[in-house]
Amino acid sequence: MRPVALLLPLSGERAALGLSMQRAAMLAESDAKLMFALDTAGTATGAAAAAQAALKRGAAMILGPLTSWEASAAATAVAARVPVVAFTNNPAAQASGAYVFGITATQTTTAVLRYARSRGVRSVVVVGDGTAWSNAASEAAVKAQRDLGLDVRAVAVTAGAPLPAIGDAPDAVLVPGSGDAVLSAARALRDSGVQLLGTVQTLDHRPSAIDALDGAWIAAPDPAAFGSFSAEFEARNGGDPGAIAALAYDAAKVARTLRDAGRLSREGLLGTESFAGVTGAVRFRTDGSCSRDLAILVAAPDGYRSVATSRGA
């Protein structure tokens, strides 16, 4: 039986995260003969060398690496001989042949806008802070407006500056992240009666953030599913695994599901209807992207609760 290789930064500045991801993956596949880890050191050169080592050891599939530059280097080194399921959320890695398994800005933005449209929202203003995620969410919202029947406008805010004029009051305001400038805008807009929307990176458990986001609809993985995974991880390893470690757990489950079905291959990856996971059920596409089911959460004083599911964002 051919094994699966897990490419992670087990040395360097992201070593602690890499170790947490390795431990999470081993919850889904504990047999070292069926899954082994290789260190990328968090660099493109290290990722390419690790990918080549994985091929020499007979790997049928590569899970990882973590970043887009590592993923591109690994996929290029592999040259399509085996699938590379990378943990990055940067769609740029698809160009190298890697599958982008991270939760992308497009997935979570589209999911929350689809839900908002189903609830009667017709106009949305996206309030960004200039970060890469915020910019990607704004771009995704603008691209989705025709398909969803929405009118979308985007404005930018900076810390300490007043909220720019947004014209006629929209039905909803999308805040892609949870930076101080965005949360300040969210607090002001919430008090005006506008419906707030958020993405997975809007989730913030600080009391001040929850207060600012009270009543917001947010697209993210189901907290109940993550809670079960987190409890299992803590019982085995101690500590909080974090959301990125959950991706490693889900990827290892994908590989195990395919092995159990005798389909540990690119054909199996693309031909399977859906893979269940802590970060949402996913289906892989031929272009290297994934469709992902996400929960729609509502922010409340006691936290976030799930009220709906957005299918295949």
125 — alpha (psi -120 to 50), left (phi > 0) or beta? Answer: beta
Mean pLDDT of 123-144: 93
Q: Examine the pLDDT at 161 and tell me if it is beyond 70.
A: no
pLDDT given for residue 181 in this prediction: 79
Average pLDDT score over residue span 157-171:
72
140: amino acid identity, one letter: A
Distance, in Å, from the CA atom of 190 to the CA atom of 128, rounded to the nearest integer, reads 16
- Tell me the backbone φ, ψ of residue 175, rounded to 5 degrees: -110, 105
Q: Which residues contact 255 (CB under 8 A, 6 or more apart)?
A: 4, 29, 35, 61, 63, 85, 264
Q: H-type helices in the chain, by residue range?
A: 15-28, 44-56, 68-78, 105-118, 132-148, 180-190, 207-212, 223-237, 243-260, 266-271
**Topology of domain 4-103+224-280, per CATH?**
Rossmann fold (3.40.50)
| Confidence check: pLDDT of 105 > 70 | yes
Alpha carbons 95 and 68: distance in angstroms, whole number:
11
pLDDT of residue 158: 73
Cβ atoms within 10 Å, residue 23: 18
Rounded average pLDDT over 106-114: 96
Q: Which two tokens stand for residue 290?
A: 């994934």
Burial 173-186 (b: 16+ CB within 10 A, else e): bbbbbbbebbbbbb
pLDDT band at 136 (very low <50, low <70, confident <90, very high): very high
Confidence of residue 165 (pLDDT cuts 50, 70, 90): low
Fold held by 105-220+294-310: Rossmann fold (3.40.50)
Q: What is the pLDDT of residues 246-259, one digit of tens each?
A: 999 999 999 999 99
Q: Name the phi and psi angles at 286, rounded to 5.
A: -65, -25
**CA-CA distance, 272 to 152, in Å (whole number)?**
35
Q: Which residue intervals of the chain bear CATH 3.40.50.2300?
A: 4-103+224-280, 105-220+294-310
Are 95 and 72 in contact by the 8 Å Cβ rule? The answer is yes
Q: pTM value?
A: 0.93
Lowest mean pLDDT among 93-97, 164-168, 191-195: 164-168
Terminus-to-terminus CA distance in the chain, angstroms?
A: 34
Tokens standing for residue 214: 């009270």
Radius of gyration of the chain (CA): 20
Q: b/e string for 141-163 if b means 16 or more Cβ within 10 A?
A: bbebbeebebebbbbbbeeeeee
DSSP 8-state class, residue 154? E
